[in-house]
Structure 1
């Protein structure tokens, strides 16, 4: 008897097939998420939509252009995203591509907030210059690779030791990823915004620069004044108290606290252009 002779088994097979396909798509999205490939997927989606609209409206020239973009785009993708493709294949070879991804617990994130607060308060009181960037949804792999890879457990003592003057890692930025110190002495892009105060130095320009190209949260401790600054979405927020910094970190990093961050940024922080 054929498989189709059993309707229940037939429909069960279809359901399992659909679930497996969705699972594969979900895992691929998890691999791509947080990398430059996300922007690529968005661009391809736009091209496909424009092609379909041009096909429907009979815009033959535009349709031809979109066809050429799709035809040659795959070759460009392989060249441009060769590092990402290589990394994905390496993960597949290690059996990590479809491994279970555990979400960060609230307790672990709370420990991260506490460590950053303690280190920032210590360095601010002693005017130790520091630059710490916390990765969120947008991947920062390119910037991590510019520094010294650590992948160390995050602690206030480690952060303080990194930024002690005249130590090998004190220059550059620390990048925090998945509640770990991913790398130190990293290079960040400098902002070219003309609205940044002239009294601010390279650390602040780097903090604004990385916030313009990623959704990261960056903390700066001034070496001259000991003041604490936070940047996000290209905005510079200066002279934060310990309490204000704690509110921002809790709102941005602790998963269970889903209060509207925009209200905190508007009411709790003094904005400086």
Structure 2
């Protein structure tokens, strides 16, 4: 009897095998969290669920459709998840796929919020137009690719410098991903809502547009008036004071349990749909 055939060794190897597989799945899920891939993954699970339900209820036509979707699903996954798969392979090659992230996410978020607030206050006083969109759960990689890649640390000084008039990057939006400035001079989709005030310009329409197709939080500084606005979930909050802006931004980006008491969101401000 070989070493692997011993009952206790065989049992332990099966346990290790299961644990390793679950750990790999967990790391892959953490890697695609916050991108469009996670939404597509939910769709795949829904197709599989419908397949089992249709088989149980005897819905042959629906079952056939789900079978076709599953048969061709492997090729579809490779095409749809191509950016995520490429990133996973790159991280695996660098030995980073299984490394532990030791950065305190909440502290990073608070630091990022303060940098955005400081830059916004500076630009608002000087009427420097700005458009800053912060990614949350829905991925914004498609919009990042329309701009100039930076992958830079978020700082108030850099944000201010980007939006200084007549510089190469000032025209367009800054997109922040994973607490970093992913790109500048990005193009965002304009809202086509007929209810938007005629006095609002392209920046506000772009901020509303991206909030209608993603769950991002977008900051707008008006070049004409210096007014500060914020959009989320298709809603526009206009003419915010800096205290209101800080509370609203902190409430959206930092978990309430982790945010300082003075920064917890108890927003009762001016909302314009």
Report 1:200-219 matches (<5 A): 200-219=200-219
**Does the Cα contact within 8 Å between 2:129 and 2:221 map onto a contact in 1?**
yes
Offset at residue 111 of structure 1 (A): 2.0
Length-normalised TM-score, structure 1:
0.89
Count of paired positions: 268
**CA shift digits 1:13-64 (9 cap, x unpaired):** 4433332121111011012222222222111111111111111111111111
Alignment correspondent of 2:143: 143
Alignment correspondent of 2:21: 21
CA distance in 1, matches of 2:18, 2:72: 31
CA distance in 1, matches of 2:85, 2:110: 34
Report 1:186-225 matches (<5 A): 186-225=186-225
**Does the Cα contact within 8 Å between 1:104 and 1:178 map onto a contact in 2?**
no
Length-normalised TM-score, structure 2:
0.89
Offset at residue 182 of structure 1 (A): 1.8
Alignment correspondent of 2:168: 168
Alignment correspondent of 1:242: 242
Pair 1:163–1:79, CA change in 2 (3 A): same
**Does the Cα contact within 8 Å between 2:133 and 2:174 map onto a contact in 1?**
yes
Do residues 66 (structure 1) and 45 (structure 2) align?
Answer: no
**CA shift digits 1:157-206 (9 cap, x unpaired):** 11111111111111001112232222111111112222221211111111
Alignment correspondent of 1:257: 258
Alignment correspondent of 1:177: 177
Offset at residue 258 of structure 1 (A): 6.4
RMSD of equivalent CA atoms: 2.2
Task: Give the match's secondary structure for 2:175.
Answer: strand
Comparing 101-110 with 154-163, greater Cα deviation is found at: 101-110
CA distance in 2, matches of 1:95, 1:159: 32
User: Structure 1: where are the runs of 5+ without partners?
Assistant: none
CA distance in 1, matches of 2:204, 2:78: 36
**Does the Cα contact within 8 Å between 2:250 and 2:259 map onto a contact in 1?**
no
CA distance in 2, matches of 1:10, 1:80: 39
Task: Give the match's secondary structure for 2:34.
Answer: coil
Offset at residue 213 of structure 1 (A): 1.9
Alignment correspondent of 1:40: 40
**Does the Cα contact within 8 Å between 1:131 and 1:172 map onto a contact in 2?**
yes
**Does the Cα contact within 8 Å between 1:154 and 1:179 map onto a contact in 2?**
yes
User: Structure 2: where are the runs of 5+ without partners?
Assistant: none
**Does the Cα contact within 8 Å between 1:250 and 1:257 map onto a contact in 2?**
no
Comparing 220-229 with 28-37, greater Cα deviation is found at: 28-37
CA distance in 2, matches of 1:83, 1:181: 19
Offset at residue 115 of structure 1 (A): 1.2
Alignment correspondent of 1:94: 94
Pair 1:193–1:72, CA change in 2 (3 A): same
Comparing 194-203 with 165-174, greater Cα deviation is found at: 194-203
Task: Give the match's secondary structure for 1:182.
Answer: strand
**Does the Cα contact within 8 Å between 2:250 and 2:265 map onto a contact in 1?**
no
Task: Give the match's secondary structure for 2:188.
Answer: coil
CA distance in 1, matches of 2:214, 2:92: 27
